[in-house]
Structure 1
């Protein structure tokens, strides 16, 4: 981590930022030079921040990959605070734009309204938002990066059903919002395709509007423990840092956890990583890397870019080689059916 911009610092600068707007040539001037030969880019994290072993870390990995291509890249990081509002997020993004960053990545749909507002104030700065394609974040200088999480989750469901010895699996969602419901929808569909009689428990750690569900490993652990005690032997967590608790619970119970966004068999604590059966991944790293390099190379193009199995934007991890031959074949067959268009995975849970 190069530098952390705190919420307090962002708020303190709000008055000064109000005068910048779209007329601030130092922050949004033409060309991609910044502080001489230095090229500045920034990433604003979602709740859970660095060390979530999930999509915040995966997104930052994209920044590190971009630095290998852009030696003069200076990366600024900004952490999110629990329970903050749109104004706090707007202040954070404004501070980053006013500091001369040419490419700014906002991790998570919670930044939708704030990035839409700030992007208009700094038309010469390029922004990217992960997991949102709503009108709130839309702008000519905004790239909306979204994924077909339901497709990777479908494969996770197939794997879970094929590997379950009890015919009973579970799903833990961080926050009950449409994005996380996509994970649920795909997982349920894939599991039922592999085993029509499969029993699936589900729970959401917090309701819509309460984003603490993405940063509560204790709640994730308690929910998974409850499922394991009821007979589930594989639990999939789409819950950000809260998924750490699900993996811990799986390890203690001698059961399996399925990770999300990153390959959590590699990112989870080594003492419990062996309990990660597989992970439904999305290529946050590659998309962030492409965004930053496109800005540096003057090849930026805004708008929504959606990535699924066909585009290698989502996938299922094989680290640890835990899947049986039967499960591997079922997953491979399911992937081919989706890529070939023979199976359409719904992004919304069935009623």
Structure 2
């Protein structure tokens, strides 16, 4: 049976995330078999030999988005615990056919924890977990009902609402856009939250939406952005993983020709990758901190298999990047804070489906 965190537990998780604070290796995991014992009351893995593996979705580890953020969380774990370099590793997936083999490779090699990154991996990770009940697994963005899996999900709709408020107040054309990757529940939360924020801040602003169907095709993102900018939008929010790189490319191209356009980044502070000249703000998901915390729990013998963790504005799991102050005026950010407070208090219910 699933164990859902109480409000108090989630708040505790949030605090631990805050206190807790891109790779290019693609070779198969190597090394001796580690601790892959039971999930309840398991002895902690010796810190010097603990091993944590991660399987990316098709966006790849350098997607400038949630796969990369997850990998950065593991790299920080290695640094914090002074683990040998090979004790954190990843396998990249080029299609969904790679999910089960990649997950199974870490599990069969006895890694202490195996991460699956992304909603699309949910059923595949469930299969591996059921077939290997003594293994420990965790997943981002999907809910897997298994006693040896910890699921971490985010209330993307809440953070995206704030991005929508910024877009509505900053748009000069009264048209903004949304570019999604694959139309799955997690991406719908981004879309619905964004549109709700736009309409709350200014009901007269039009939202133009395009789903590309991909998380790993920048050319599709560039094409979608071209269509949306071409219809008069001046701000685009993307939730498309590596496909979103193309949204930035199109925005930069138009900016260089004198067009006053912007992109709102996703998952990470994408101004650090694409620059302040095109990134209006970013809706960040603290995937790195969640991955770091759960992984350290396993090493400390505190793994909580079967638990489902939801992180939203109240838990500081989502929000706007700190660098928003560079391009977003203080009065707009003040309005954002007011909406955030109402959401946290439950005065505003942001649609998620």
- Normalising TM by the smaller chain, what interval? 0.7 to 0.9
CA offset at residue 28 of structure 1? 2.4
Aligned to 1:309: 313
Structure 2 runs not aligned, ≥5 long? 1-22, 256-260
The DSSP-based 3-state class of the residue aligned with 2:277 is: helix
1:60 and 2:51 are equivalent in the alignment: no
Q: Is contact 1:27–1:99 with CA below 8 Å preserved after alignment?
A: no
1:332 and 2:337 are equivalent in the alignment: yes
1:69 and 2:80 are equivalent in the alignment: yes
In the superposition, relative to structure 1, how do residues 50 and 331 fare at CA in structure 2: closer, same or farther (>3 Å)? Answer: same
CA offset at residue 163 of structure 1? 0.5
Instruction: Deviation per CA, 1:268-309: give whole Å up to 9, x if none.
Output: 3x5xx5201011111101100001100000011121100000
1:252 and 2:253 are equivalent in the alignment: yes
1:121 and 2:131 are equivalent in the alignment: yes
Taking the aligned partners of 1:228 and 1:2, their CA distance within structure 2 comes to: 34
The DSSP-based 3-state class of the residue aligned with 1:315 is: strand
Aligned to 1:28: 36
CA offset at residue 343 of structure 1? 0.6
Q: Give the RMSD, CA atoms, in angstroms.
A: 2.0
Counterpart among 190, 203, 210 of residue 203 in structure 1: 210
How many residues in Structure 1 have an aligned counterpart in Structure 2?
Answer: 316
Q: Is contact 1:40–1:103 with CA below 8 Å preserved after alignment?
A: yes
Taking the aligned partners of 2:238 and 2:279, their CA distance within structure 1 comes to: 11
Greater RCO, CA 8 A, separation 6+: 2
TM (norm. structure 1) is 0.85
Q: Is contact 2:141–2:154 with CA below 8 Å preserved after alignment?
A: yes
Aligned to 1:179: 186
Q: Is contact 1:37–1:72 with CA below 8 Å preserved after alignment?
A: yes
Counterpart among 260, 284, 289 of residue 286 in structure 1: 289
Aligned to 1:4: 26
CA offset at residue 330 of structure 1? 1.5
Taking the aligned partners of 2:110 and 2:53, their CA distance within structure 1 comes to: 10
The residue correspondences of 1:233-272 to structure 2 (distance < 5 A) are 233-254=234-255, 255-268=261-274, 270=275
Aligned to 1:20: none
**Runs of at least 4 residues of structure 1 off by over 3 A?**
29-34
Aligned to 1:81: 94
Taking the aligned partners of 1:98 and 1:2, their CA distance within structure 2 comes to: 23
Taking the aligned partners of 1:192 and 1:222, their CA distance within structure 2 comes to: 26
